[in-house]
Amino acid sequence: MMSDKIRLLIWNENEDEKRFPDTLKIYPGGIHGVLESFLKDDFAVKVATWDQDDTHGLSDEVLDHTDVLIWYSHLRNEIPKATLEKLVTRVFDGMGVIFLHSGALLSFANILLGPSSRRGAYREQGELERLWVINRAHPITDGVPDHFEVQQSEMYPEPRDIPTPDDLIFISWFEGGEVLRSGYTYIRGAGKVFCFLPGHSTFPVYYQPEIQTVIKNGVRWCAPLKKPPIQSRSGEVDFDYRTIAHNI
């Protein structure tokens, strides 16, 4: 019997792991390794990395079997444009995406969501971050306390120039006094997108239970809805948003 679990592809650039000994100390199996370890019981998980093959682990065959993609990128922005455009099309067709940490500010996210930039300087000194739920009705906050703390985090400050999110879920406060929109969502076509900023490759953020709960909830929320067949004037047709748009 086929599993009805959500099919999750965890994609990690896997570059911090090569350049920074501290990253491997904290994440010996890579950031993708720790993500896989807490997600594999709930979802049908596959892992891919930039360096694994010519397609960077993002072949059509793999994407054909992906409901939700988790994306962690930081240092490399050389993913071929054709691949990024392919990913964007997949999202518009219904594939969910979770952008983690710096992944929310770089190439794929910028092409999908619109450009973003940071005005203030970031601080990478392991300071305390307190996340506040500001949308208690959103399923991504299910089982998450009203606020919780990450003991060692990297600080990104507001104002950040990002496309206005469709829904704001978390705001963070940092020990240095800054605040940040740290969890927010977008709808793009038939696809759902969740950006979750806490992270950084040299801090053990992804071992924290609250963070893991948010990411699991995010995968469930981002999963594509079951699309009914559309009844057109001339009879039943396959559901394809782009075709339909052109035919109207």
Q: List interacting residues with Zn ion (CB under 5 A).
A: 154, 200
Nearest residue to Zn ion, by Cβ distance, number only: 200
Least distance CB 140 / Zn ion (angstroms): 21
Least distance CB 201 / Zn ion (angstroms): 6
The amino acid present at 55, given as its one-letter code, is T
CB of 221 closer than 8 Å to CB of 192: yes
Tokens encoding 129: 């971050």
Using CA atoms, how far apart are residues 150 and 152, in angstroms rounded to an integer?
Answer: 6
Q: Which of 183, 181, 202 is nearest to 193 (CA)?
A: 183
Residue 91 or 162 having the CB closest to Zn ion: 162
Residue 106 or 144 having the CB closest to Zn ion: 106
Using CA atoms, how far apart are residues 205 and 211, in angstroms rounded to an integer?
Answer: 7
Least distance CB 124 / Zn ion (angstroms): 7
The amino acid present at 123, given as its one-letter code, is R
Least distance CB 217 / Zn ion (angstroms): 22
Q: Which of 165, 167, 155, 170 is nearest to 214 (CA)?
A: 170
Least distance CB 196 / Zn ion (angstroms): 13
Tokens encoding 34: 């720790």
Residue 56 or 200 having the CB closest to Zn ion: 200
Residue 17 or 154 having the CB closest to Zn ion: 154
Residue 129 or 154 having the CB closest to Zn ion: 154
